């Protein structure tokens, strides 16, 4: 997809971007916070069929709507709508917004089907609007450092890659949202929990092939319609081999999200609960730099998610629309990650 810095935006350069939030759950509230904290954005509407005004008690409440169509019919202008609804609704809602000429920030995954994501990408190009997928882990300092390291070929040939994601998702998590755990709205653990880390893997190493996988459901069969754990092995098309092991069956709390690289010129491991720190850096003729502190995890009370990097995403979108700077997360990459997930499930 070609991202468009349009003449329309040139005319509005440096003006405040008007943003509406579609879906006001945990992640929608995070987006609303990001908009409120930015001097370059204005929150013009909240859209959710279960909107609770108590959430804004004592604060100036923006207009709220119980459906996307109700908002579109209201006449309120938005430059961008952030789609923060259940996974299975993303494609249909984003398509409607694109048809109305509105830019879309869309939480992962942009669809549960790669064919739909490709159709959305094509439509956005035809309508000259932009889709901004939320893959905020790309902004994490260890991830950015590792990307630069690999692009500079400091590691030489990549021999082996190992990714381990061991999380806790308890009954409270699934019972709080009726869509969670369902095949048609949630999709599965690789879509909802771990697509961020598959995206990091693709961003760093490119496409994979010769995929083999094995899945299990250890302690969520009464809560979900899909697996809670899996082991995936593959070859990197660029050379080398790898594995991706994941689970949401960890007791009590998240254990780790780690990435280990064994390469020609050294070894690297990024670890922590969400790949938030460099644990090992042993590279020939290389001194490890001091990295900026990584944002803490998104804390939702009974569970934690990935790092809080949405502010980087919003700043990137603002810089792109107002100043023509490069966008960091594209629909092209999201389509490829979706195809990767489909191939993984098909290989089981």
Using CB atoms within 10 A of its CB, is residue 19 exposed (0-12), middle (13-18) or buried (19+)?
Answer: buried
* pLDDT tens digits, 22-81: 999 989 999 999 999 999 999 999 999 886 655 554 445 789 999 999 999 999 999 999
Q: Where are the domains of the chain?
A: 7-134, 141-308
Residue 92, C-beta contacts closer than 8 angstroms, at least 6 positions apart:
none
- Residue 97 pLDDT: 99
pLDDT tens, residue by residue, 199-231: 999 999 999 999 999 999 999 999 999 999 999
Q: Percent of the chain, pLDDT > 70?
A: 89
Give strand ranges (E) for 217-327: 229-236, 241-247, 256-263, 266-271, 277-283, 297-299, 304-307
Q: Which superfamily is assigned to 141-308 in CATH?
A: Dihydrodipicolinate Reductase; domain 2 (3.30.360.10)
Sequential DSSP letters for 34-65: HHHH-TTEEEEEEE-TT--GGGGTTS-PPPEE
Q: Mark the ranges of the chain whose per-residue pLDDT is less than 50.
A: 8-9, 57-59
Q: Which residues pair with 28 in a beta bridge?
A: none
Q: What's the pTM?
A: 0.91
DSSP class of residue 14?
Answer: T
Sheet with 229-236, side-by-side order of all strands: 208-216, 229-236, 241-247, 158-166, 256-263, 266-271, 277-283
Question: Cα–Cα distance between 348 and 344 in angstroms, integer?
Answer: 7
Domain 7-134: give its CATH superfamily.
Answer: NAD(P)-binding Rossmann-like Domain (3.40.50.720)
Q: 295 near 281, Cβ under 8 Å?
A: no
If DSSP codes are grouped into helix, strand and coil, which group holds residue 3? coil
Query: CB neighbours of 327 closer than 8 A, spacing ≥ 6?
Result: 3, 130, 132, 316, 317, 320
């Amino acid at each position: 997809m070609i991202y468009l810095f349009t003449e329309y935006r040139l005319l509005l350069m440096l003006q405040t971007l008007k943003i509406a939030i579609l879906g006001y759950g945990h992640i929608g509230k995070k987006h609303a916070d990001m908009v409120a904290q930015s001097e370059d954005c204005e929150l013009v509407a909240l859209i959710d069929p279960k909107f609770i005004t108590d959430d804004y008690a004592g604060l100036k409440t923006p207009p709220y709507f119980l459906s996307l169509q109700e908002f579109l019919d209201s006449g309120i202008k938005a430059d961008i709508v952030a789609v923060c609804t259940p996974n299975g609704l993303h494609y249909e809602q984003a398509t409607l917004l694109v048809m109305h000429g509105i830019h879309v920030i869309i939480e992962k995954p942009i669809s549960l089907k790669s064919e739909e994501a490709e159709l959305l990408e094509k439509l956005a190009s035809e309508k000259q609007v932009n889709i901004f997928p939320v893959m905020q882990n790309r902004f994490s300092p260890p991830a950015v450092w590792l990307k630069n390291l690999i692009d500079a070929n400091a590691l030489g040939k990549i021999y082996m890659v190992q990714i381990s994601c061991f999380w806790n998702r308890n009954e409270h998590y699934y019972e709080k949202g009726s869509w969670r755990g369902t095949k048609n709205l949630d999709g599965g653990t690789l879509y909802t929990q771990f697509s961020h880390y598959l995206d990091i893997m693709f961003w760093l190493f490119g496409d994979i092939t010769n995929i083999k996988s094995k899945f299990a459901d250890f302690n969520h069969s009464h809560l979900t319609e899909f697996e809670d754990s899996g082991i995936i092995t593959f070859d990197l098309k660029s050379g080398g081999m790898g594995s991706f092991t994941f689970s949401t069956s960890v007791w009590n709390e998240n254990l780790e999200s780690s990435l280990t690289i064994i390469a020609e010129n050294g070894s690297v491991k990024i670890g922590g609960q969400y790949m938030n720190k460099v644990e090992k850096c042993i590279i020939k003729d290389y001194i490890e730099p001091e990295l900026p502190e990584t944002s803490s995890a998104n804390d939702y009370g009974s569970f934690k998610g990935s790092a809080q990097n949405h502010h980087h995403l919003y700043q990137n979108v603002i810089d792109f629309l107002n100043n023509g700077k490069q966008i960091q997360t594209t629909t092209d990459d999201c389509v490829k990650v979706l195809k990767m997930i489909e191939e993984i499930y098909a290989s089981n």
